[in-house]
């Protein structure tokens, strides 16, 4: 994955600028969570994902840019860092609805925003972007990703997840995805939903659903992330084997509940 962004405007002011862009955050991961207005409890999904990332030893910046997320500050278009809220030692949060369009260039790309985010939160190993599929396509024009699809256990949400994957396949060439199902984890419907979505993706798009996990909307913030979610997130980070956290790093117990309580649809 090439994290270097070549701007279309004037060249860098000095040679070091290009080197900083090439090597800064070379181990940083950008995760794409496709928003779904038909799937409730997206705040809980963000909380569970950040808890899992913290458990895996990562510091994360959540960029919350979905249509139902809090609006970005007007000041964010000028300077992002002061608009980032530090929720805990391992989790930072940016209200970002509408922000990708403020960074769009004449080619329809908002890729520069991801560079700005990385520079604004250099301490973060992971930038988790929660946005609609169209905004994700604009943002990730210079990067590859395996998107995280979001759905509930009802047809409209699954249709929207499929439509998001189709759009990302057409515009970004992304032909694999993971799925997060917001539903009671023991629901007998979940394996069928995942297999049906996987079959449709393979048959009509040529895409693969590589993994899925349930996210329990009734779970407590202090609950440990499920083994399935840990495996899925570890795979997103490119980890061959799920690392075992040290006993003193029970990070999920300290994840703030502000994400879960955020006013998402």
pTM: 0.84
Q: Among the listed ranges 157-161, 192-196, 241-245, which one has the minimum average pLDDT value? A: 241-245
- Within 8 A by CB and 6+ apart from 74, the residues are none
pLDDT tens for 52-100 read: 999 999 999 999 999 999 999 999 999 999 999 999 999 999 999 999 9
Q: What is the 3-state secondary structure (H, E, C) of the chain?
A: CCCCCCCCCCCCCCHHHHHHHHHCCCCCEEEEEECCCCCCCHHHHHHHHHHHHHHCCCCEEEEECCCCCCECCHHHHCCCHHHCEEEECCEEEEECECHHHHCCCCCCCCHHHHHHHHHHCCCCCEEEEEECHHHHHHHCCCCCCCCEEEECCCHHHHHHHHHHHHHHHHHHCCCEEEEEEECCCCCCHHHHHHHHHHHHHHHHHCCEEEEEEEECCCCCCCCCCCHHHHHHHHHHCCCCCCCCCCCCCCHHHHCCCHHHHCCCC
Mean pLDDT taken over the chain: 86
Dist. CA 229–CA 66, nearest whole Å: 22
What is the per-residue pLDDT across 127-172, written as a single tens digit (0 to 9) for each?
A: 999 999 999 999 999 999 999 999 999 999 999 999 999 999 999 9
Per-residue confidence (pLDDT) for residue 173, from 0 to 100: 96
Q: What is the pLDDT of residue 222?
A: 82
pLDDT tens figures, 246-264: 433 333 334 444 566 554 5
* pLDDT grade for 221, boundaries at 50, 70 and 90: confident
For the domain with range 29-242+251-261, which CATH number is right: 3.60.21.10, 3.40.50.300, 3.40.1230.10, 3.40.50.150? 3.40.50.300
State the helix-helix crossing angle for 42-55 and 227-236, rounded to 10 degrees: 80
Among the residue ranges 13-17, 101-105, 161-165, the one predicted with the least confidence is 13-17
Could you report the per-residue pLDDT of 20-33, keeping only the tens digit for each? 444 444 579 999 99
Backbone angles phi, psi at 263, to 5 degrees: -80, 65
Look at residue 27 in the predicted model and tell me its pLDDT.
Answer: 77
User: Does 224 have pLDDT greater than 60?
Assistant: yes
């Amino acid at each position: 994955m090439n994290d270097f962004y070549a701007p279309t405007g004037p060249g860098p002011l000095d040679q070091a600028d290009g080197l900083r862009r090439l090597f800064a955050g070379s181990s940083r991961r950008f995760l794409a969570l496709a928003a779904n207005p038909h799937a409730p409890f997206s705040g809980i999904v963000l909380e569970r994902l950040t808890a899992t990332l913290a458990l895996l030893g990562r510091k994360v910046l959540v960029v919350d840019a979905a249509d139902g997320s809090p609006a970005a500050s007007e000041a964010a278009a000028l300077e992002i860092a002061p608009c980032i809220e530090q929720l805990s030692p391992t989790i930072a949060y940016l209200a970002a609805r509408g922000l990708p369009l403020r960074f769009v260039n004449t080619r329809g790309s908002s890729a520069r925003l991801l560079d700005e985010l990385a520079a604004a939160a250099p301490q973060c190993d992971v930038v988790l972007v929660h946005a609609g599929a169209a905004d994700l396509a604009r943002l990730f024009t210079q990067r590859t990703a395996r998107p995280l699809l979001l759905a509930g256990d009802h047809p409209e949400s699954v249709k929207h997840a499929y439509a998001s994957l189709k759009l990302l396949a057409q515009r970004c060439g992304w032909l694999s995805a993971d799925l997060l199902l917001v539903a009671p984890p023991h629901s007998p419907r979940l394996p069928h939903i995942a297999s049906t979505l996987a079959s449709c993706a393979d048959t009509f798009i040529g895409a693969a659903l590589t993994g899925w996990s349930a996210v329990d909307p009734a779970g407590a913030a202090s609950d440990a992330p499920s083994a399935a979610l840990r495996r899925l997130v570890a795979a997103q980070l490119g980890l061959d084997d799920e690392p075992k956290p040290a006993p003193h790093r029970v990070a999920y117990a300290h994840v703030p509940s502000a994400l879960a309580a955020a006013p998402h649809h």
